[in-house]
Structures are given as structure tokens and as C-alpha cells.
Amino acid sequence: MKRLQSVLAAEREADPQGAQGFATTREMARWLALWMAFDDIVRVADLKSRASRWARVHGEVKAGEDDLLMVYDHFKPGVPEFAAMLPPSLAQRPVRWDRNRSANGKKPWALPLKIGTHSVFGMVALRTLAATKFLRPHGSRFATEQQMIEKWLQGVVQGTQRGWQLGHEIALCGRLIKGYGSTNERGKDNLLHVLDHRRTAAVPTAQRRRCMPRAKPRWPTKAASCSTRRWCSTARPPAPSRRCRSTGCASRAACPTPKRP
């Protein structure tokens, strides 16, 4: 609620009459709630081991009372997933090692797992991992997510102060954060790209025109006299001096009808 108060205050300033129905605040609340419930290996283990999930799978395959149902879940956690549970000070070293490994042309390290959730061992393993959720607020992943959320929140507030439409579009960019693992990382990279370039989108049209490169200067075609002719400082330098056939001028730069080089 504290985060949404700043967005609501900025939207009220940009739209005092409430003509847009406070759509920016509503979209912000929607995607912020989903982002705060981000998925990691602890949450995935909790979702995979719930009794409601077993009942849903049992109904999807239409297994009877005498049928034997076996369910295997495949996991492939990498270094980022394991480092997410460590404190920020301890997570930097394994993450740096994995990045150097990728920079040398090797595949990122991952641990393929096949766990049978129908067995006692598989269910106990998942429930044990899910029980470590109290460590999430102290992990590096939690700190990283909070920093990203604050940066997104700041972008929405600043965009709304510049224009309601800009703030609303930045708030809608919260839907880029979805999925798990590499999908989630790509979504964050896309959101950071939008936030880093939001200033360019807010530049007025007149200012963008002033920043555009000037057109190439044209060579003059008319002149009052050889003594008053001046060349543009940004134009191409004239050809070497030579006597003009028409007027006898000693310099081409002073000729009333110069030829293009």
C-alpha cells in the first residue's frame, strides 16, 4: 500500500478530474502483486507438493480407484537458483563463477533432477525444500527483486508526472515479468531497457527536432557581386584558386556563378 500511495498521488496530479479512472494505479497494483509473489525453487517446490495439485492431476488423467498413478517432476536448477537462497554477500562468488564459465564458451552449470512426487522420498524432499521459505527474505534473490520493483515504481511515478499516458504505459510493462528461470531474466532485461530509455520517449517533439542533425548545406547559386560573396562555414571548401572565364576573377570563391566541384 505504501508503494501504491506514491503512484496514486502522481496520478491525481496528472489527472485531477479522474477522467482515466485511475487506470495507472489499478494496473500498478495488479502487476505489483504478481511480481511480489515471484517464483523460485522454494515456491515451485511448494506448488508441486500441494494436495490440490495431486487432485488436479488425478482428475486430468481420469485415473480410477484401482489405477496406479505415478507422477515425475523434472527440475533443472542452475547456479542462479541456488545462489538466490544465499545472502547477497555469499551469492556473488558462485554467480561470478557461472558467468565466467559462460563467457569462456561453456554451457551454464545446471543440475538435472527427476523426482517422483508419488513416492515418499520425492514428496519429503519437496516438502523439506518448501519449508525453507522463511529464508527467502534473507536471500539475494529477494534483495534483487526489491531493487527492481523500486526502480519500476520510480519510473512509473516519474513518467506519470511528465504525462499520464507515459506513466500508464510504464505501469503496463509490469506484465513483462513472468515465468521462471531464464524466461524471468529475459523479462527483467526487457523492462530495464524500457526504464533506461524512458527519457527519450518523454522528449517533446520540438526538442527532438532541434536535436536532429542539420541537412547538408547547399552551394550558393546567386550572388550580388564578387566583393560581397561569402561561403557557408560548414560547406565544402572551394576548389583551388583559378581565373574565371566569365569575369576574370582571380578566386573561384569570389565568383558570382561558382561551379560545383
Confidence bin at 194 (pLDDT 50/70/90)? confident
Examine the pLDDT at 121 and tell me if it is beyond 90: yes
**Three-class SS state of 209:** helix
Average pLDDT over residues 9-21: 85
Q: What is the pTM of this model?
A: 0.63
Average pLDDT for 140-150: 91
Domain residue spans of the chain: 2-13+22-202
Q: What is the pLDDT of residue 259?
A: 52
- Cell numbers at residue 234, please? 560548414
DSSP line for 3-14: HHHHHHHHHHHH
Residue with cell 500500500: 1
Residues 140, 87 contacting (CB under 8 angstroms): yes
pLDDT at 249 over 80: no
Residue 200's pLDDT is 54
Averaged pLDDT, 120-148: 92
Residues sharing a CB contact under 8 Å with residue 58, sequence separation 6 or more, in sequence order: 69
